A and B are shown apart, each in its own frame.
Chain A
């Protein structure tokens, strides 16, 4: 065990979250989720497709609203926010990492990383400078002026990670971060996330790959819109798939 100073401070607190998608056939996706994630935790949310794990991540990321319950993000209640307020919280508190990277094609790596700061009104010089620093952290300084289509999948995901970090968010939300990567680059990306965790970042990863999930500290299994069980993964290196490998 290593020392983590924030271990008892709550970062995410969900209680009784319900979500129904209206339609011809209303779909009750989340049926009362209670979840508590502490500051500095590295958590995986696992489940089959259709289990509601993506919906849960969208709610955590303030990309979607919920119908019932309470969500506290770093002690800030998140509910029925106006678009403007939601955008503000997303910008300041959350760093997103997506399966398909979601880089903007006509911007180079540096500009992509700098984009969140554009919406904070940071001057271009300042944000490009910061973007270069973060690109250096993910080892892509030399690739700063390459466009996404000139980067490999792993490199794109590292650019996306740099972009998620540049605003110094409270949590990182990663939606299948290795879903579009081969096993070697998947390892690279997971190592990067683990390194962030060691620096004290709270990270929530949604995945259906157990190889990814077992590299985290805590695995939340979701099934049919409910938390089936929460598994403490005391020693991530002792995963059934061995240290440093990701089962594809």
Chain B
């Protein structure tokens, strides 16, 4: 407190100079925060546009064999079926959090009264799909195990399509929709993601298998991995998964084209890497700007120390130790950097909020769909805390050399000056 009072006097003596330096620091921090905010906007947009899939999902589709195996020719079509799900549950309990079979029928028409939608896809899913694909039920319920077991004709409809089918705003929950000549009960409404332009209705996969004569076939197996945090583990899991499927569906365990495996976790890792590179480079840019501000502070402090040589001489003659002097200069530097740094930080945060309010929710209309291109361009509290730490450290660094110079002043020389 006392020290602050001491500093106040010397800071106020050179208002203009302090202000000029302060602006350098403030603009450095302002840029740091705004760059971070903009970077976050881009990263959030990546995340948002990546859609509803959980990031660690592994998708498997049937393909065509590329090798002759077990007396069978190459070029054979492999169709996955219900056994695949059981196999994964049995063989990989440690590596998986969940697995769901997906089977879909597309090109359907759905109608309610006189309203209808064409090119509708009916996607047969398992109840676990909700968690794995982050499907959010807004009203009603998710498909449950009994629906699957009894092959019920129940569907989930998106809120957007509800409005299209019921333009007057009547709720379609617990209403029957006519889908491809069959009536389905709407048991739940799910939240649209921004990305999909297709109309997707969800129903138990067993229902699709039965209604469309698909037997036990499935189109896709979706697996959510557990503890697959390295490239190596992912690769091993994929190899073993392929072997397991090969046993059921009789294809060569190393046949790369018999089943197609898309591991989102690996994609995700690359995406994360790209995000963090972006974030780091923005930090570096911001820091460089900040450094120029800090160098300015250091310069000003050096000049100020030179001017105040006599003052330090007097202080020393009156009993100031070198440490007293060093502490005073470093504190002064931290106070200047900190005060103006916070001004810059607040301006930056305010600007980010402005960006968020003005372009943050703007969408890019690409005809069939809308794309958000700048989501939530703001910084979080940890960035601000980091920036504070950076300011204190840089203030101390900026003050160090001037302080050292000041403390080495010999009182007699200073007094003679």
Contact = CB atoms under 8 A, between A and B. Distances in A.
A117 B190 CA distance: 73
Interface stretch (A2-10, A45-53, A99-107, A202-210): A99-107
Contact of B311 (A58, A104, A163): A104
A229 interface: no
A102 B412 contact: no
B108 interface: no
A87 B9 CA distance: 23
Given A102-B317, A104-B314, A119 B324 contact: yes
A225 B175 CA distance: 114
Contacts of A63: 317, 410-412, 415
Contact of A106 (B9, B320, B410): B9
A120 B311 contact: no
B315 A115 contact: yes
B311 A87 contact: no
Contacts of B311: 104-105
A163 B318 contact: yes
Interface stretch (A88-96, A150-158, A240-248): A88-96
Interface in B257-291: none
Nearest to B416: A54
Contacts of B310: 102
A87 B314 contact: no
A212 to B, nearest CB: 20
Given A102-B415, A119-B324, A124-B5, A96 B318 contact: yes
Interface in B373-417: 410-412, 415
A61 B317 contact: yes
**Chain A CB within 10 A, most for which of B13, B314, B319, B322:** B319
A88 B6 CA distance: 20
A116 interface: yes
B106 interface: no
Contact of B319 (A87, A103, A106): A87
B239 interface: no
B-side interface size class: 20 to 34
Given A96-B317, A163-B318, A106 B12 contact: yes
A119 B412 contact: no
Contact of A58 (B5, B12, B412): B412
A98 B415 contact: yes
Contact of A92 (B13, B314, B319, B410): B319
Contacts of A107: 9
Interface string B13-52: 1000000000000000000000000000000000000000
B332 to A, nearest CB: 13
Contacts of A111: 9
A118 B325 CA distance: 12
Contacts of A64: 412
A83 interface: yes
Contacts of A58: 412
B306 to A, nearest CB: 16
B273 to A, nearest CB: 52
Interface string B294-322: 00000000000000001101111111111
A248 B6 CA distance: 39
B291 to A, nearest CB: 30
Contacts of A83: 321-322
Contacts of B320: 87, 119
Contacts of A87: 316, 319-322, 324
B410 to A, nearest CB: 8
Interface string A57-86: 010010110000000000000000001100
A123 B3 CA distance: 11
6 contacts: A83-B322, A96-B318, A98-B415, A119-B324, A120-B319, A124-B5
